């Protein structure tokens, strides 16, 4: 079995306007580096659209309708908040980004691949049940996790989020859901100003583990947070599937926050998650792109992430 890359050209058509950090250049940089010979044998597939049933597991009907409301194809951009916008191509991109995670779950559950990486945008982990925010329209990782539970009958699904920002949307959506696990490292006192260690999940719902990191934290602190807190908790949970919110904006070159991580840290993190997937869930792991806004650093981190997945 191999690693499957899922993407779609529609994700390039989500136009966020000039100078927006979450631009199509992010995905272009990733696809360019994946032309390297290391990735010649990477299986590739197109992301389908998420279905209404898949979206409704995580979002209200009103939110879905709001995101899918057409925007004129004349270059218009509609602001949902000061950071989050939609354009004529955004609805299709958002449907494909959410659909990618569900398709990846289907593929790993059918054993047609060992693991999968979804190179999609817009990202998802800030989108709450009824609110788009933080560049995110639909909560892609939460949708994938709930699809794994409801469509495939899994009883324990874990989401691990190493984006530099806390995945408030993923946490909110999974909070009261039985059989769910959400863990995050993120920069303390950064957008969206959630994710304290006191947030541990709803009664009878998800297991939540948050480890905020101080600005300026680098490799030793990041790795210690996983080795000492998150990975032991993940092993105790014994997931049947791991979903990764793969945000690479903790890299030292990234302009959006102030952690000091390097490519090697993301490679290390991926190896740890692959090892637990092998130990607990027959290698089943689905990774979805979240943040990462320095395009050179982002492409290098994704390449390292994928090399580990392919060799795992």
CA atoms of 187 and 96, how far apart (whole Å):
29
Residue 43 CB partners (closer than 8 Å, separation 6+): 2, 3, 4, 5, 113
Question: 244: which DSSP letter?
Answer: E
Question: 282: which DSSP letter?
Answer: T
Residue 8, number of CB atoms within 10 A of its CB: 24
Query: What does the angle CA 46 – CA 51 – CA 56 come to, to the nearest 5 degrees?
Result: 135
Catalytic residue among 59, 63, 125, 126: 126
Active site residue 126: yes
Residue 147 CB partners (closer than 8 Å, separation 6+): 54, 57, 101, 102, 105
CA atoms of 256 and 144, how far apart (whole Å):
26
Q: Known catalytic residues?
A: 126
């Amino acid at each position: 079995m191999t690693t499957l890359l899922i993407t779609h050209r529609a994700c390039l058509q989500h136009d966020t306007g000039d100078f927006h950090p979450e631009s199509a250049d992010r995905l272009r940089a990733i696809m360019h580096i994946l032309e390297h010979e290391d990735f010649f044998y990477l299986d590739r597939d197109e992301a389908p659209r998420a279905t209404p049933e898949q979206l409704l597991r995580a979002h209200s009907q009103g939110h879905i309708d709001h995101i899918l409301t057409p925007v004129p194809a004349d270059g218009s951009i509609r602001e949902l908040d000061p950071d989050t916008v939609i354009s004529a191509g955004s609805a299709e991109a958002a449907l494909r980004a959410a659909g990618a995670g569900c398709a990846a779950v289907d593929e790993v559950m059918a054993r047609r691949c060992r693991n999968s990486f979804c190179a999609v945008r817009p990202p998802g982990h800030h989108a709450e049940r009824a609110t788009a925010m933080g560049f995110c329209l639909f909560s892609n990782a939460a949708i994938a996790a709930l699809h794994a539970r409801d469509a495939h009958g899994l009883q324990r699904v874990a989401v691990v989020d190493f984006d530099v920002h806390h995945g408030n949307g993923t946490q909110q959506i999974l909070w009261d859901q039985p059989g769910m696990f959400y863990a995050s490292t993120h920069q303390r006192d950064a957008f969206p100003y959630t994710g304290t260690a006191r947030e541990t999940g709803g009664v009878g719902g998800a297991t939540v583990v948050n480890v905020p990191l101080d600005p300026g934290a680098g490799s030793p602190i990041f790795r210690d947070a996983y080795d000492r807190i998150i990975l032991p908790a993940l092993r105790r949970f014994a997931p049947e599937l791991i979903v990764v919110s793969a945000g690479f904006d903790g890299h030292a070159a990234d302009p959006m926050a102030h952690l000091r991580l390097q490519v090697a840290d993301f490679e290390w993190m991926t190896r740890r998650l692959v090892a637990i997937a092998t130990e607990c869930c027959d290698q089943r792991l689905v990774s979805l792109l979240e943040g990462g806004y320095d395009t050179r650093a982002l492409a290098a981190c994704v390449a390292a992430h994928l090399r580990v997945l392919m060799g795992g």
